[in-house]
């Protein structure tokens, strides 16, 4: 992973973003010697958001099972048929 100073980002934003688009390698932005932000390309960000939504859905399903908020396959099928009609 590349690391850049926030001042470098200010001066060379176009170059850094262009490199980011080409190699899709995240850039750690530091400020006063400390990590301040990550800069990532749009494709990687969108893929990460999609994975997060999927994992959140799995977690909700697992919570529903733990809380016994489940229905049989037949009941789910019947309910879906009503919703889709």
For the chain, the average pLDDT equals: 95
Burial (CB count within 10 angstroms: exposed 0-12, middle 13-18, buried 19+), residue 85: exposed
| Residue 48, pLDDT score | 96
| Residue 46, pLDDT score | 97
Q: Model pTM?
A: 0.73
- Mean pLDDT throughout 10-31? 96
Give alpha helix (H) positions in 1-85. 6-23, 42-66, 73-84
**34-46: pLDDT as tens digits:** 999 999 999 999 9
| Residue 19, pLDDT score | 95
Domains of the chain: 1-40 (3.40.1620.10), 42-85 (no CATH)
pLDDT at 85 over 90: no
């Amino acid at each position: 992973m590349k690391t850049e100073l926030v001042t470098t980002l200010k001066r060379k934003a176009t170059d850094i973003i262009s490199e980011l688009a080409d190699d899709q390698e995240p850039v750690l932005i530091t400020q006063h010697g400390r990590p301040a932000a990550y800069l990532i390309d749009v494709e990687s960000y969108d893929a990460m958001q999609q994975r997060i939504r999927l994992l959140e859905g799995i977690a909700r399903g697992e919570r529903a099972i733990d809380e016994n908020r489940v229905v049989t396959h037949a009941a789910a099928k019947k309910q879906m048929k009503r919703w889709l009609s």
